[in-house]
Amino acid sequence: MRSGDNKSLLERMDRLVLWSGIPQLNSYRVRRRRLRWTPIMTLAIATVGLIIMLLRPSSHGIGYLILMVGFAIGNFLPMFGPVKPPFHANDEVDEGQRNLRCKAFLIGFGTISAAAFLGLWVLIALTELQNWSQHMLLRAMMALTFYFLVLFSTVPTLYASWATPVPVADEERDAGRALGH
């Protein structure tokens, strides 16, 4: 350091961080999209994987792979969907968006609760009917847990996507594409 530099250590560190370019990476606005069919396909993929895992224990690996594909897709949906994070510095969140987020997560938590109630009874029934070992029951419980995580990331996005009206500009653009313009 030069002897004439009277800046404190924190000021020098701030200047170094600004020089690195990292603050500019977070300065762009994320374009929120209505993902209407992607969450439905994600839920379908994860459901097929769960059903394969539960009904065909010999095909556990294939079912697990399909469930993990749904899980991976589902984890990216909240990043691009219409539900904005609660505290994001670059997005303005108004009261309507807060209400949409609240309703979306209430629907999501209700869906997870219903799936948990039904899923645990299904696991009990399948354990008795198929005479599962403890190891198979633990694998099924793990699969059900991952399915709950898929529901947690997918259902709020699905609800908010269908509850959000289509802007007029998007309708005109889609109509122009349909006409070939």
Q: Is the separation of the CB atoms in 115 and 147 below 8 Å?
A: yes
Number of domains in the chain: 1
10 belongs to a structural domain: no
Q: Examine residue 95 and state whether it is found in any structural domain, yes or no.
A: yes
- Per-residue CA distances from 35 to 51, 66, 74, 117, 166 (Å): 25, 21, 11, 28, 11
Q: Is residue 118 part of a domain?
A: yes
Residue 85 lies in a domain: yes
Q: Is the pLDDT of residue 175 over 60?
A: no
Contact 147, 67 (CB under 8 A): yes
Range of the domain at 92: 34-165
Mean pLDDT of 15-19: 82
pTM for the complete prediction? 0.72
134/164: higher pLDDT: 134
Structure tokens that stand for 122 in this block: 């299904």
Residue 6 falls inside a structural domain: no
The pLDDT value given to residue 35: 80
Return the pLDDT at 59: 85
Within-domain flag for 27: no
pLDDT tier, 168 (very low <50, low <70, confident <90, very high otherwise): very low
Query: Of 29, 63, 26, which Cα lies nearest the Cα of 46?
Result: 63
Single-letter code of the amino acid located at 116:
A
Percent over 90 (pLDDT), the chain: 44
pLDDT at 181: 53
Q: What is the pLDDT of residues 70-99, one digit of tens each?
A: 999 999 888 887 876 666 555 566 787 788
Residue 12 maps to a domain: no
Q: Report, in angstroms and rounded to the nearest whole number, the Rg of the chain calculated over CA atoms.
A: 23
| DSSP codes joined into one string, the chain | --TT----HHHHHHHHHHHHTHHHHT-SPP-----SSHHHHHHHHHHHHHHHHHH-GGGHHHHHHHHHHHHHHHHHHHHHSS---SS-TTS---HHHHHHHHHHHHHHHHHHHHHHHHHHHHHHHHHHHHT--HHHHHHHHHHHHHHHHHHHHHHHHHHHHHHSPPPHHHHHHHHHHHHT-
Residue-averaged pLDDT of the chain = 82
Whether 8 is covered by a domain: the verdict is no
